[in-house]
Structure 1
Amino acid sequence: MKNLYKSILGFSFLFIAGCTQEAETNTTELPSVAVKVQKASGGEKTHYISASGQIEAIKSANISTRMMGYIQDIPVKTGQKVKKGDLLISISNTDLLAKKGQVEAGVLQAKAAYKNAEKDYERFQALFAKKSASQKELDDMTTRYEMAKAGLDAAREMENEVNAQFSYANIRAPFSGVVTNTFAKEGDMANPGMPLIGLEAPGKMEVAAMISEADIQNVHEGMKADVSLKSIGLTVEGVVSEVSLSAKNTGGQYVVKIDMEAPDSSIYAGMYANVQIHGSGSNAGDANRSVWIPEEALVHQGQLTGVYTIGNENAAILRWLRTGRSTGDEVEVLSGLKPDETFIISAEGRLYNGVPVTF
């Protein structure tokens, strides 16, 4: 019995020693990861309000007619340059020509009636002065004369209206520019208000960008902006020229227009652009509490965002953050990291909670 007791004690001692040795071995087996660290910077930075939009010509028009008729001729094509006053579209005016003949005949008839009434009026004035005509006869002749004059005026107004309709039949360029689109072809029926030709004045471009309700209060006319067009690898400067204060018809977004100060000849209307509006923080008093870190240091897991910091015994510790604005390649940290705290910006191996790091 005594020997059995000694055997159990010996076996237990060996088992505990083995476990201790195994734990020490596992601890020493964790390889360290070489990392690059940085301290979180504090202070307020220039706030860039990001948005996207499309390039538009500042001076553009969809030209239509005010009369109905068949399109007779379209002497221009898409991409063609035109000068102010150049003919864009001719609409058949056969019916208008017939109406013009009727109106001209009406004007001649009204002129003849007016001249006849004028002579009679002058004659009766002379007779009345000699007391050879009564007051009633003079009044009747005066009424006839005024009616003839009004009839002539109405005929001339009708003539002016017909002449104006002829200008609607021959549509001319209201300004010099480039034809961007033709919405109809020869033989089509043109209706009043229907777009027929798209025209834009080149050289003056703007961006119509959509701004969220969280940023619209920080956007004002005169602010500078950077307009980037990835499709052609170009970035130009711009200035905010218009700020809409209603999002009723734009799906909760606010339209901001940015004039491009020096547009390039390779920029065309309809191109997509990314806009960075130079602003300032909405809370100027928060400058001392602002913390900024490089975006490349962030760790994303689902909807969570964090950063690895240095813990006890130089171990990596993942800390979750609440982020805010973005400025270039840096992100504002609203909570989770204090100014001058050290965090890991990059690593040569895989990071996880508790892994030893060297820097």
Structure 2
Amino acid sequence: MRCLSLSVLLVFLAATGYGQEPPPAQVRTVPVVKQEVAKNKAFLGVLYYDKMSMVASEVAGLVETVHIKAGQQVKKGEILVQLNTDLLDKDIQLSKTRVEQQRLQGQLAKKDFDRQKTLLKTRGASQKNYDDAQFALSNSQLEKQVAQRTLERLLLQKEKSHISAPFDGVVLEKNVASGDWVQQGGMVASIGATDALLVKIPVGETLLQFIEEGSEVDVTINAFGNTLKGTVDSLAPRADAKTKNVLVKVRIPKVENGAENMSATVYLPVSTKQQLSILPRDALIKFKGKDFVYTVKEGKATILPVNIVTFLGDKVAADNPYLAPGMPVVVEGNERLRPDQPVTVIKE
């Protein structure tokens, strides 16, 4: 009876496949390539606006409406602060009336001058009357010009009561509120230009030989964890007297919700260019804090350590000699692999 039960159990296990190895894992691979690149290193920098404006009022007045708040994105010409123009509107209306009065007076003076000119030719008027009419016409024309210039000044003053953004940017600070009195030249807000967002990084003077203006580098905004492409803009013309560090300025694209003085990690070159092995970041796996990749040899997964010397966006460069050109590295399915596990490579 016991032998029969054992036989039945063996038949059942054989039928269910119990005890057999799991099927090969399906993975996708890409080949390692060689490329001439420089080693790079992570440097910590801070964001800042290279172009800023302390927006001031060109006229004195009472703040009626504030259209902005700190952190708000604004476009060039967008109204930031509106000053009250009630009294100014009255002055403008009065000035328009005076312009019209001078126009009418000018017409009357012109008619009188034409009449005196005609009478002078027929000796029906004296030279004095003609001269007086000519003076009155000239004076009327000048008074009309004065009235017109006064109106233009008032209209310009009203235009200046709408304080606008000088360029596309982000409001760094709002300095007024409704009901405040602003003096001429008083600051109402500070704005940083969105197209002038840079990262400044202190770098040792001996590394400047490897950094070229205009070269592209990877920048990670630490607050959000996103990596973007930056361009080396310039090197500061002065080194720190004590540390001998020089500020390297890297221009970056607009960062949503970015703030001045946020930290950023910038990967700058620290060597001359050399032949290195290039592989995707997706191929990397972490084990005990170190980087590894899986390759495929004879249908099985083989794990290899990787010494990363350069970060290249979604790729990395390593200097391990066994990472030969054309070697397949696993980029999909590697997170569940184990060494010597059978694999099947998925063809594209």
Measured against the shorter chain, the TM-score band is: 0.5 to 0.7
Q: Is the counterpart of residue 54 in structure 1 residue 51 in structure 2?
A: no
SS at match of 1:152: helix
Cα contact 1:225–1:240 (8 A) shared by 2? yes
The code of the aligned residue for 1:275 comes to V
Q: Contact (CA 8 Å) 1:224, 1:278: kept in 2 or not?
A: no
Find out whether 1:152 has 2:144 as its counterpart. Answer: yes
1:159, CA displacement in angstroms?
0.8
The match for 2:106 among 114, 119, 126 is 114
Indicate which of 74, 88, 92 corresponds to 2:80: 88
| Alignment-derived partner of residue 56 in structure 2 | 64
Counterpart Cα distance in 1 of 2:97 and 2:130: 30
1:275 is matched with which residue?
266
Partner SS for 1:193 = coil
1:236 aligns with 2:236: no
Q: Structure 1 residues 133 and 254, CA, compared in 2 at 3 Å: closer, same or farther? A: farther
DSSP 3-state at the match of 2:213: coil
- The question of whether the paired residues in 2 share the 8 Å contact of 1:219 and 1:243 is answered with no
TM-score, with length taken from structure 1: 0.51
The alignment status of 1:100 with 2:92, answered yes or no, reads yes
String of CA shifts for 1:87-141, please: whole Å, max 9, x gaps.
4322223442343344334323432332222222322333344454566654554
Aligned to 2:319: none
Q: Distance in 1 between matches of 2:202 and 2:125?
A: 81
- Give runs of aligned pairs for residues 177-326 of structure 1, distance below 5 A: 178-199=170-191, 205-209=197-201, 221-243=213-235, 245=237, 257-260=249-252, 265=256, 267-278=258-269
Residue deviations 1:242-289 (CA, integer Å, cap 9, x gap): 4554689xx99866542225x5546444312243444777xx9xx9xx
Q: What whole-Å deviation, never above 9, does each CA across 1:22-72 have from its counterpart, x for those lacking one? A: xxxxxxxxxxxxxxxxxxxxxxx9476986543245776443311112222
* 1: CA distance, partners of 2:208 / 2:186: 35
What do residues 137-168 of structure 1 show as CA deviations (whole Å, max 9, x unaligned)?
54554343233212211211111111111122
Which secondary structure does the structure 2 equivalent of 1:225 belong to?
strand
Q: Specify the SS of the correspondent of 2:95.
A: helix
Give the corresponding residue for 2:69: 77
Give yes or no for contact 1:61–1:198 (8 Å, CA) kept in 2.
Answer: yes
Q: Which amino acid aligns with 2:225?
A: G
What amino acid is aligned across from residue 186 of structure 2 in structure 1?
M
Cα distance in 1, alignment partners of residues 70 and 123 from structure 2? 76
Distance 1:219 1:173 in 2: 36
Q: TM-score, normalised by structure 2?
A: 0.52
> Runs of 5+ in structure 2 lacking a partner?
1-36, 275-308, 312-348
**Cα distance between partner residues in 2 of 1:113 and 1:272:** 69
Sort the Cα spacing of 1:224 and 1:278 in 2 relative to 1 into closer, same or farther, 3 A. farther
Q: Tell me the number of residue pairs that the alignment of Structure 1 and Structure 2 aligns.
A: 239
Looking at structure 2, the residues matched to 96 and 182 of structure 1 have their Cα atoms a distance apart, in angstroms, of: 25
Where 2:137 maps in the other structure, the secondary structure is helix
SS state of the match for residue 232, structure 1?
Answer: coil
What root-mean-square deviation, in Å, do the aligned CA atoms of Structure 1 and Structure 2 show?
4.3
CA 1:167 to 1:270, structure 2 compared with 1: closer, same or farther past 3 Å?
farther
Higher strand share: 2
Distance 1:119 1:47, change over 3 A: farther
Larger CA Rg, structure 1 vs 2: 1
Q: Secondary structure at the match of 1:160?
A: helix
Q: What SS does structure 2 have at the residue aligned with 1:162? A: helix
Give the distance between the partners of 2:256 and 2:125, measured in 1 at CA: 81
SS at match of 1:171: strand
Give the counterpart letter for 2:88 in structure 1: L
How far does residue 221 in structure 1 lie from its aligned partner after superposition?
A: 3.5
Q: Residues of 1 paired with 2:132 and 2:239: CA distance?
A: 66
